[in-house]
């Protein structure tokens, strides 16, 4: 019950937004944010980012700080990266037949 209260407060304060390790801003629905909240350390999950309108793979990483605190980082990757379209092979087109 206490975790649910912290989840509701966090969702209220952030509005479902996350900042990744590259300081990129991402937004997720309330249900997706709840899944991210309960995600275990070093586990990955794929969710739909409403800000970028695409699927993203998120990895939650908890790390301890030397001052005694703990940080939670989110590493966000695109599971379907855009590749450049294949270029025309100019080497073979210049060769005589």
Q: What is the pLDDT of residue 47?
A: 93
The domain spans of the chain are 14-81
Give 21-76 pLDDT, tens digit per residue.
888 899 999 999 999 889 999 999 999 999 989 899 999 999 888 888 888 888 98
Q: What's the pTM? A: 0.69
Q: What is the pLDDT of residue 44?
A: 93
* Residue 77 in tokens: 């990757």
pLDDT at 2 over 70: yes
Alpha carbon separation from 45 to 11, 13, 25, 74 (Å, rounded)? 19, 23, 17, 11
Contact between residue 40 and residue 59 where contact means Cβ atoms under 8 Å apart: no
């Amino acid at each position: 019950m206490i975790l649910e209260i912290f989840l509701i407060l966090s969702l209220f304060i952030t509005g479902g937004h996350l900042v990744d390790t590259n300081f990129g801003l991402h937004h997720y629905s309330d249900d997706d944010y709840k899944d991210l909240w309960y995600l275990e350390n070093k586990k990955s999950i794929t969710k739909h980012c409403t800000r970028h309108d695409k699927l993203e793979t998120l990895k939650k990483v908890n790390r301890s700080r030397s001052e005694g605190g703990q940080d939670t980082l989110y590493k966000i990757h695109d599971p379907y990266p855009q590749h450049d379209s294949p270029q025309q092979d100019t080497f073979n087109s210049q060769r005589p037949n």
